A and B are shown apart, each in its own frame.
Chain A
Amino acid sequence: MSKANLLNRRQVVASLLADRGDAIAVGGLGASTYDIAAAGDHARNLYLWGAMGGAVMIGLGLALAQPKLPVVVITGDGEMLMGMGSLATVGLQKPKNLCIIVLDNESYGETGGQMSHTAAAADLVGVARACGIADSRALTTLAEIEAFAATLRDVSVGPRFANIKIDAANLERVLSNRDGMFIPDPPAWRARLPADLEFLPSGLVAPQQKP
């Protein structure tokens, strides 16, 4: 399945997140989550290993709640295709701090490499742009990716969408020691969310502080 001229997904994600600063990263079901884990576990990683089609919407909820923090969704073409309507929802809300990146291997790698719609017909960059995400582009070289990564922390230019054609090789699974269920050393009342986001709605106290 490998094609020599396509980018290595681990190298792509490592480049994207190398200088992430305070960015929150949401990883879509499957290999994208492994790629983010392989780039180094981080308190602001939110790993998904299910809820296919939901990654962009989780990113949107985060971006609207925390407009000063960069939110980066990194997902695959199959996951994006299942949640394609969420691009229209993002296009309507236009959060300036949300960036959506699709690692497009034109196949369903987790299930045996069956061809996806992007292999022959669907153009996700065109879809995103037509949904109102004006800054939608394809990134084709590592140099382009590094230039894009340098702007990842800019919370004034979104929403953005980038599609990156990657090699379809199936790589070793890299799992964080946590997914949605398991976060080391959590505050008990927020055990299943990004570990260092300690924001509470105003006027609230944590349950253990109640009488």
Chain B
Amino acid sequence: MHARADASANSVSSWPEDIFAILQRFDVRQVPYVPDAGHSQLIARVLGEPSMRGIALTTEEEGVALLLGAWAGGQRGVLLMQSSGVGNCINMLSLTQIFRFPFLALVTMRGEWGEFNPWQVPMGTSTQGVLELAGVRVLRASHPDEVREVMEAAAGQAYDACTPTAVLLSQRLIGTKVFVK
């Protein structure tokens, strides 16, 4: 067994707080997620916030369908996942084109910056292309000081203009995961 040392899990970063504040300002209520170390701080904040409902999924495509239901009922949501989960969503993303509901996903990236696990590389390499082919606009944040601005833009175009949007949170931003004995 390997113990996991992960920068984002072991210390408090400022950029997840920026994301959380923007989600609150946009009155986001449903937050479906498949856990990722890079999202751990944000997930903890969501689960501790009474106005939000963190919803653990068995697979990421469930979150796409959930967000449609949430919007049909008048609530905004955001889907949290890792880059490997994007591949699980492809057919379900057709809902964003049929219903043109405000879809927003925050994707923590693997397989692109000092990745130690070769199994992360294929999906990490195709994540942006897959999303764009499915009709989702892609924005990216690579440095902590640009997360707020990118999130503002993403939330604005997703929630106000109903433009399906994903924000890729670069592996460089999150910090390369290190496994130690």
- Which A residues lie at the B interface, using CB under 8 A? 24, 26, 46, 50-66, 69, 83, 85-86, 88-89, 92-93, 179-181, 191-194, 197-204, 207
Contact = CB atoms under 8 A, between A and B. Distances in A.
A57 B98 contact: no
Nearest to B63: A57
14 contacts: A51-B91, A51-B95, A53-B65, A54-B62, A54-B92, A64-B55, A65-B29, A65-B30, A85-B57, A180-B98, A180-B99, A198-B74, A201-B29, A201-B76
A201 B61 contact: no
A60 B66 contact: yes
Q: Which of B62, B95, B98 has the most CB of A within 10 A?
A: B62
Contacts of A53: 61, 65, 92
Interface residues of B, number: 35
Nearest to B72: A193
A89 B65 contact: no
Interface of B: 27, 29-30, 53, 55-59, 61-77, 91-92, 94-95, 98-101, 160
B77 A54 contact: no
Contacts of B64: 54, 57
Nearest to A201: B27
A64 B28 CA distance: 13
B176 to A, nearest CB: 30
B133 to A, nearest CB: 17
A62 B58 contact: no
